[in-house]
Amino acid sequence: MIHLRVRTEYSFRETFAPLPRVIARLQAVGATAAGMVDLGGGTWGHVRWDAAMRRAGLSPLFGAEFVVTPGHPPADTRNAPTAWALAEDSAALYALASLAAQQPSGFNQKPGLTQRQFLDAPGLVKFAGSALARSEEAVVDARVYLDLNPAAVLTTRDALATARRCGAAARIVLTADNYYAAPEDRKLHELVGRSNKTSPQHLLDEGELIAAFADQLGSRAAVDAALANAAEIAARLAGVKLRRAPLIKLEGDVEALCREGQAKRLALGQIKEWTPEYEARLQKELTLVKEKAFDSYFLMVADMMHWAKQRMLAGPGRGSSAGSLMCYLLAITEVDPLPFGLLFERFVDQTRGGHMFNQKFVEAINALSSRNTADA
């Protein structure tokens, strides 16, 4: 089965849906593809989603949900009308998300789009949500899909009425209304989320999805057609990949620049004496930086800081970078780490990657979830 719209932990403060739990639930219900579609136009979880889905042998789709208004300040700011999209071209999705982020919608300043901006955006498969459920123009002219979910009773009624008016031009898909991953996560979601809906808010299995819509759609054939539409979309978007920024490679000798900085610091009296301790520390840092191929990173940041310090006030540096002797010699920071016993390992360490903290956090959440579920 296909879940075109999946909310995850990246719908901040709205969900309890850590990625590992979402992936496990997708596997449990037999999903083969799923789209990450988080609230507020957020796309910041896509890289982790891509990696986690592919590791699980599932096809990742990439989307976002937007507040979409007619183009004037809304009279009712209680319930934001939303529509959502999946990427045929990831760059097109990110361009639309960037546009939305620049435009407060009037709904608690959430990022938003006008209906025209949403409908005219290229490179996307679009879904009506609540914002366009009544729009024949969206369905017929812009080829927007009408999406149904079991929690949105009024929107489902509007969408089905629009489908009847539009006839063969209308295409329906079925979605869950998930604010947590699995049924047993409901109590945990009530602790961290803000939704007070009584309807199921987990990722439905195919039987639950069929049962939820059998009455509204009127026939099993109509349900099967909606499921087939989702499968067709997933097949069409299966080849979409995230764009990757090329690694920057700068020509330069970072060790030679450190030696220049060493001479300057000594001449200015900022380092009183180049002791064996300084030399051992510098060699240790240089070795690790070269092993991790971070040379270009240090060259680039040093060049930026030199430029800035010639033209404006620049601070002495902060955070873990202040533990680096290389940063001090390259004038990236103005803190000599040795007199203060600052550790380079807080900045760069052989055993640590950028996502280690995130992974540890997820593991802790999963452990807490398992314990609370058992207690329940």
Per-residue pLDDT tens over the stretch 361-373: 445 445 554 554 4
Mean pLDDT calculated for residue range 337-350: 88
Asked whether residue 44 carries a pLDDT value surpassing 80, the answer given is yes
Q: Tell whether 330 and 189 lie within a shared domain.
A: no
More confident residue, 173 or 101: 173
Q: Same domain for 83 and 226?
A: yes
Q: Is residue 246 domain-resident?
A: no
CATH number reported for the structural domain that contains residue 73 in this entry: 3.20.20.140
pTM for the structure as a whole? 0.73
pLDDT, residue 65, reads 94
Q: Are residues 113 and 34 both part of a single domain?
A: yes
Ranges of beta strands (E only) in 159-260 are: 172-174
The token duo for 282 is: 């510098």
* Residue 365 falls inside a structural domain: no
368 in any annotated domain: no
Counting the structural domains of the chain, the total is 2
Same domain, 264 and 230: no
Per-residue confidence (pLDDT) for residue 195, from 0 to 100: 67
226 plus 158 within the same structural domain? yes
pLDDT tens for each residue of 13-38: 889 999 999 999 999 999 999 999 99
| Residue 368 neighbours by CB under 8 Å, 6+ apart | none
Same domain, 89 and 200: yes
Residues of the chain with pLDDT > 90: what percent? Answer: 65
324 in the same domain as 205: no
Cα separation of 285 and 279, whole Å? 10
Dump pLDDT digits (tens) for 147-179: 999 888 899 999 999 999 999 999 999 999 899
Q: Which domain holds residue 290?
A: 254-346
Burial readout 188-224 (b: 16 or more C-beta within 10 A, e: otherwise): bbeeebeeeeeebbbbbbeebbbebbeebbeeeebbe
Reference 119, options 65, 175, 62, 68; nearest CA is: 68
Q: Which range among 118-132, 181-195, 325-339 shows the weakest confidence by mean pLDDT? A: 181-195
Q: Is residue 79 part of a domain?
A: yes
Neighbouring-strand partners of residue 37: 63
188 vs 351, more confident: 188
**26 within some domain:** yes
Ramachandran sector of residue 143 (left: φ over 0; alpha: ψ -120 to 50; beta: rest): left
The listed range with the strongest mean pLDDT (86-100, 343-357, 361-375) is 86-100
Same domain membership, residue 145 and residue 29: yes
Considering the domain boundaries, does residue 356 fall inside one?
no
Residue 147 sits in the same domain as residue 189: yes
Asked, for residue 354, whether it belongs to a domain, the answer is no
pLDDT digits (tens, 9 = 90+) for 231-266: 999 999 999 999 887 777 888 999 999 999 999 999
Residue 108: the pLDDT is 65
Query: Token pair of 68, please?
Result: 């979409």
Q: From start to end of 45-121, where are the E strands?
A: 59-69, 82-87, 112-114
Task: Give the integer Cα–Cα distance in Å for 167 and 170.
Answer: 6
Q: Does a structural domain hold residue 361? A: no
Residue 30 and residue 145 in one domain: yes
Count other Cβ atoms within 10 Å, centred on residue 275.
Answer: 11
- pLDDT-derived band at 78 (thresholds 50, 70, 90) equals low
Q: Looking at the structure, do residues 71 and 167 belong to the same domain, yes or no?
A: yes
Residues 260, 326, single domain; the answer is yes
